[in-house]
Structure 1
Amino acid sequence: MDFLFMDFLFMGLLYAGILGVQYVLSSQKNVYLGAVVPLLFVAGMTWRYVNVESVSTMHYLLMTGFGLLCLIAEWDRGREVFRTNQEKEWNRIRIQDLK
């Protein structure tokens, strides 16, 4: 029972860490940094599908699609934060120019 809880906790922390890295990379100036984690995710899932016989095609498609959906949502949120921060910076520059 404890092993199952630890496995669940570890996987939850792993997923939270991956989404955190995706958010940080997506909120940077370079928009393409946000594509790193989804590409690694698809490559990893495809490698697992090809090399592990017990993975069904439906399972692969559902897990990859759900994972990409979550990663793209984080990418969108990171880009929105970047745009908001950029707009705040432009407003500060405009205010300084008016003085």
Structure 2
Amino acid sequence: MSTLTTILTVMGIVALQYFMASRKHFLWGAIIPIAYVFTMIYLYLSNYYNSLLSFILFLSLGLIFLFEEWNRGRKDRRKKENNELNKMKKKDL
């Protein structure tokens, strides 16, 4: 895979992670990190990575990015819900 394709793929996955994390139920955001862990384990068992250290590094960095997007999506979801509640309260007054 070329570098540009790899970067675009990673950006697409991170964007999809944010979208899924900002849905109403928080578990939608868990799908991509779980799939990522299983994919990384498969790649390690098929000897894609030369050392355990590189496997752990890529696994942890990927999970950090995915969990950060999950956290950001949940925060934005809560902010939207609070804004809607405030609008409803203003109309009632």
TM-score calculated relative to the size of structure 2: 0.95
Q: Which runs of 5+ in 2 are unaligned?
A: none
Displacement after TM superposition at 1:54 (Å): 4.6
The superposition leaves residues 64-90 of structure 1 with CA deviations (integer Å, 9 ceiling, x where unpaired) of: 000000001101110110011000000
Alpha-carbon distance in 2 for matches of 1:53, 1:15? 18
Task: Give the aligned residue type for 1:30.
Answer: H
Task: Give the aligned residue type for 2:76.
Answer: V
The superposition leaves residues 21-59 of structure 1 with CA deviations (integer Å, 9 ceiling, x where unpaired) of: 000001111001111000000000000000125531111
Task: Give the aligned residue type for 1:10.
Answer: T
The root-mean-square deviation of aligned C-alpha atoms, in Å, is: 1.2
Corresponding pairs, count: 93
Task: Tell me the equivalent position of 2:67.
Answer: 72
Q: Which runs of 5+ in 1 are unaligned?
A: 1-5
- Deviation >4 Å, runs of 4+: none
- Does 1:23 find its partner at 2:18? yes
Larger radius of gyration: 1
The sequence identity of aligned pairs, in percent, is: 32
